[in-house]
Amino acid sequence: MGFACARALAQRGTLLLVDLRAAPLAGAAAKLTAEGSRAETLAGDICDADCVGAIAARCAALGGCAGLVHTAGLSPTMAEARRIFAVNLVATARLVGALESQLLAGAAGVLFSSQSAYMGARAVTDAIDALLDAPLAPDLYERLAAVAGPLATAPGGAYLLSKRGVQRLAVARAPVWGARGARLVSLSPGIIETEMGAQEMAAHTAAMQAIVKATPVGARMGRAEEIASVVAFLCSDGASFVSGVDLLVDGGSTHQILRGAR
pLDDT at position 262 over 80: no
pLDDT at position 207 over 70: yes
Mean pLDDT of 132-154: 97
Cα separation values, 106 from 65, 70, 102, 131, 187, Å: 10, 17, 12, 31, 19
What confidence score (pLDDT) does residue 200 get?
86
Mean pLDDT of 137-142: 97
Question: 60 falls in which pLDDT band (50, 70, 90)?
Answer: very high
What confidence score (pLDDT) does residue 152 get?
97
Residues 16, 156: Cα–Cα separation, whole Å: 31
Cβ atoms < 10 Å from Cβ of 201: 18
> Which of 88, 72, 208, 212 lies closest to 158, judged by CA?
88
Residue 122 burial by Cβ neighbours in a 10 Å radius (0-12, 13-18, 19+): exposed
What global pTM score does this model have? 0.96
pLDDT tens sequence across 77-133: 999 999 999 999 999 999 999 999 999 999 999 999 999 999 988 899 999 999 999
pLDDT at position 203 over 90: no
Question: 196 falls in which pLDDT band (50, 70, 90)?
Answer: confident
DSSP state of 222: B
Are the CB atoms for 27 and 3 separated by under 8 Å? no
> Which of 156, 230, 220 lies closest to 192, judged by CA?
220
**CATH architecture, range 67-261:** 3-Layer(aba) Sandwich (3.40)
Give 132-168 as a DSSP string: HT-TT-TTHHHHHHHHHTHHHHSHHHHHHHHHHHHHH
What confidence score (pLDDT) does residue 261 get?
65
pLDDT tens sequence across 27-44: 999 999 999 999 999 999
Kindly compute the dihedral angle of the four CA atoms of residues 38, 194, 167, 230, in this order, to the nearest 10 degrees: 60
Q: Which residues pair with 65 in a beta bridge?
A: 103
Low-confidence winner among 83-92, 142-151, 191-200 (lowest mean pLDDT) = 191-200
Residues 103, 187: Cα–Cα separation, whole Å: 20
Say what percent of the chain tops pLDDT 70. 99
What confidence score (pLDDT) does residue 156 get?
94
Residue type, 257: I
Kindly compute the dihedral angle of the four CA atoms of residues 114, 71, 164, 133, in this order, to the nearest 10 degrees: -170
91 against 218, higher pLDDT: 91
Angle at CA of residue 246, ends 244 and 252, nearest 5°: 155
